[in-house]
Structure 1
Amino acid sequence: MALRMCPHGYRQPQPLISAVSFTKSASRSFRFSVRSSIPESGQSRKLVLEVKEKLAKDYRSLPLGKYGRDDEEMILWFLKDRRFSVDEAVGKLTKAIKWRQNFGMSELTEEKVKRVAETGKSYVHDSFDVNGRPVLLVVASNHFPGVSPAT
């Protein structure tokens, strides 16, 4: 028996189809048409800029730079994740940036990760997942919240 765990927030990719229509012609045959919800590259660039403007106007306290409110690559990722809905992307993106601030991701160093890894709480499995990525196994019995050499 195998147990496969996915990172929090992972969803199966959904088909990117926004509208499907069937029309019946006089000869009783059906015509099928599909309209994609993926915008063209020029449109996605406009959406990224729109998100950046909203973040600059409404969330000035969020940091700038990589993984900040002006990181266009990350903004595009959140737009794709929210099916190019600007409002939903802004909401999810602000939560993610605030989480990174509260968790202290900018202070995370290789040394801190090594110290936690030496506790035996987790280890990298010898095999890879179906997408060729390393698998991190967490041993729950070795985890004691609040007790860590990194803190």
Structure 2
Amino acid sequence: MAFKQNNTRVVVLRTGLVLSRQGGVLPLLYNLGRLGLLTPLGSGRQAMPWIHLDDLCGLYRKALDDHHMEGAYNAVAPEFHTNRSFSATLASTVKRPFFLPPLPTFLLKLFMGGRASLLLVGSRISPRKVSETGYTFQFPTLRQALEAEKKL
């Protein structure tokens, strides 16, 4: 890698689903939640690594300032969620029931084609290496992150 030859420190932040009302998928999910239309996708057991936008920005700042950071880091919150538990937490946050049956995999594939795998396959990843840097998450739990964004 050319950066290594030039003695340049490289930090890679592998990012989970970024939660922000300012864009991305969260505004759509909030609207579905308010309508009571949240449902697990496929089995609902796929991992949904996530991070609040403020924490992602905080990690970028830390990566710039902390010269001990080098290599790859998982920019995800410490609280693990499956697709089902993520959707249930969001429904609870907007005070709506979470009762619909899962959206079948074949329907997602029918309407989305190969892109359906983005929703049906998840990776359970840990922010262990981030935590070892001493970074303190502002939003370590999904409920805290969703409540903060709901107020905007």
- Point out the structure with max Rg over C-alpha: 1
Same fold (TM over 0.5): no
TM-score using structure 2 length:
0.21
Q: Relative contact order: is structure 1 or structure 2 higher (C-alpha 8 Å, sep ≥ 6)?
A: 2
Between structures 1 and 2, the one with greater strand share: 1
TM-score using structure 1 length:
0.21
